[in-house]
Amino acid sequence: TSLSLLSRFKGALVGAVLGDCIGAYFEFEWAPSIEKEKIVNLVNKIEAESKKDKKKKVWEFTDDTAMTRSVARSLIAHPDFSSVDMAKKFTEEYHKEPDRGYGNAVITIFEKLKASDYKDIYKPASEQFDGQGSYGNGGAMRISPAPLLAQREEDNDKITKIELTDKITRLTHTHRDAINGAVMQSLAINLALKCHEEVDIDNFVDTLKSDMAKVEEKSRSKLPKPDTEDGAEVEEFPYCKVLETVREYAKQEQKPDMKDINDNLGTEISALKSVPAALFSFLRASKYGDDFKDRNPFERTMMLSISLGGDTDTIATMAGAIAGACYGINVIPESWQTCCEGVSDAIEFAEELHKLQGK
């Protein structure tokens, strides 16, 4: 039987929340990798906790989810996209709960937007880092509602999806790598919405690579070349290049070495060094059990993505969105859902976005 689109929408948004809440547990450690026992223990703890009637511990979401919720709410209220509304939602949410663990630089944008009374929405982001823009993964981490909404524009080919992602990302991130990372995450979610039970890794990577080749070709001429510290030559197609490494590690018979993943994909706060790790986690876990053999592919995606270390909440939120879009809500453990903050809202957003299909 084929999965309903609604189930996949719920899976994507709930997967994103769970990745953030569970992954955040290790973000402060900023470890090069997390031992599998630590992750198994945390998951066991969550599953035991869910059986409690009273005083259940709730794992809280961070900036990743705070911003995703604003993207969802804004797109639901304005399906044709309102930059002012979305910028306001980001800014108001930040001022309401500033302690969700936002990036150090992005908060300057919220201050400037508020002070300027939302006059020039795209200006503060373009001024970040002396005009270079942020290369952080803050655009990619929050993008999941966009490919769900843009699913309705299927006939319009991929342009709509890419443009919507671009406009949402630019509100805070104007660096080429941040924008293209958000685009790759968005396209990966869209592809996952169409996956069947068995994920074809080669086909997934090939499709993504051919789309990213067009995206990177376009930004070569349109977006400023990023500065390099030592004046070294800038890689013109960094996402296309890393996709080959993702393919290799996802497919190899042997369990990949964590150090290799860290060195060659990255688990950092930058988009270029975190979006590939999320995609790798999803693809690898679709085929191999590795350290988490007794778990289903969704659970394995989450556990593997956290075990990579570094920016764990963000890599897990991105991996969770892709896996959820692929496998749907029914494979996501009930116990995880009851112990994470913001799950019922995510389900509601999925329903609202689903209602907008065909409109």
Q: How far is CA 282 from CA 2, 219, 251, 297, in A?
A: 20, 27, 12, 8
Q: What is residue 129's DSSP assignment?
A: G
Tell me which residues touch Mg ion (CB under 5 A).
62-64, 101, 105-106, 128, 134, 311, 313-314
CA distance 54 to 76: 34
Residue with the shortest CB distance to Mg ion: 134
Q: Which is nearer to Mg ion, 96 or 196 (CB)?
A: 96
Q: Of the two residues 231 and 358, which places its CB atom closer to ligand F2R in the complex?
A: 231
> Applying CB under 6 A, does 122 fall inside the site for ligand F2R?
no
Instruction: Say whether residue 328 binds ligand F2R (CB under 6 A).
Output: no
Count residues near ligand F2R (CB under 6 A).
23
* Residue 91's binding partner out of ligand F2R, Mg ion, none, with CB under 5 to 8 Å set by partner kind: none
Our finding on whether 62 is near ligand F2R (CB under 6 A) is yes
Q: Alpha helix locations (H) across the chain?
A: 5-27, 36-49, 63-77, 83-96, 106-115, 123-126, 145-150, 159-170, 176-192, 201-222, 238-251, 258-264, 275-287, 297-307, 312-327, 334-338, 343-355
Under the binding rule (CB under 6 A), the answer on residue 137 touching ligand F2R is yes
83 in contact with ligand F2R (CB under 6 A): no
Q: Residue 163 in contact with residue 253, Cβ under 8 Å?
A: no
141 Ramachandran zone, left/alpha/beta (phi>0; psi -120 to 50): alpha
Given the complex with ligand F2R, which of 277 and 329 has the nearer CB atom? 277
Which residue in the set 56, 58, 129, 203 belongs to the binding site for ligand F2R (CB under 6 A)?
Answer: 129
Assess 138 for contact with ligand F2R (CB under 6 A).
yes
Residue 131 tokens read as: 């005009």
**Closer of 37 and 230 to ligand F2R (Cβ):** 230
Partner from Mg ion, ligand F2R, none contacting 306, C-beta within 5 to 8 A by type: none
* Least distance CB 336 / ligand F2R (angstroms): 19
Residue 65 CB, nearest distance to ligand F2R (Å)? Answer: 10
Shortest distance, position 323 Cβ to Mg ion, whole Å:
18
Does 310 sit near ligand F2R (CB under 6 A)?
Answer: no
Q: How many CB atoms lie within 10 A of CB 221?
A: 6
Query: Among 150, 183, 151, which residue's Cα sits nearest to residue 166?
Result: 183
Under rule CB under 6 A, residue 93 binds ligand F2R = no
2, 37, 96, 104: which one binds ligand F2R (CB under 6 A): 104
Using rule CB under 6 A, residue 314 touches ligand F2R: yes
Query: Which CB, 63 or 166, lies closer to ligand F2R?
Result: 63
| Whole-number Å distance between alpha carbons of 305 and 317 | 9
Which of ligand F2R, Mg ion, none sits in contact with 124, Cβ below 5 to 8 A by type?
none
**CB closer to Mg ion out of 250 and 277:** 277
Residues numbered 159-178 forming contacts with ligand F2R, rule: CB under 6 A: 175
Report how far apart, in Å, the C-alpha atoms of 15 and of each of 165, 318, 357 are.
19, 8, 21
Name which of 124, 273, 286, 268 is nearest 203 in CA terms. 286
Pair 303, 291: CB distance under 8 Å = yes
Return the residues of window 182-241 that contact ligand F2R according to CB under 6 A.
none
**Of 9-17, 58-66, 110-118, 187-195, which part binds ligand F2R (CB under 6 A)?**
58-66
Q: How far apart are CA 92 and CA 15, in angstroms?
A: 25
For residue 229, give Cα distances in angstroms to 17, 232, 233. 35, 7, 10
CA–CA dist 70, 85 (Å, integer): 9
Among the listed residues 135, 249, 282, 298, the single contact to ligand F2R using CB under 6 A: 135
Q: Which residues bind ligand F2R (CB under 6 A)?
A: 27, 30, 62-64, 101, 103-106, 129, 132, 134-138, 141, 175, 269, 311, 313-314
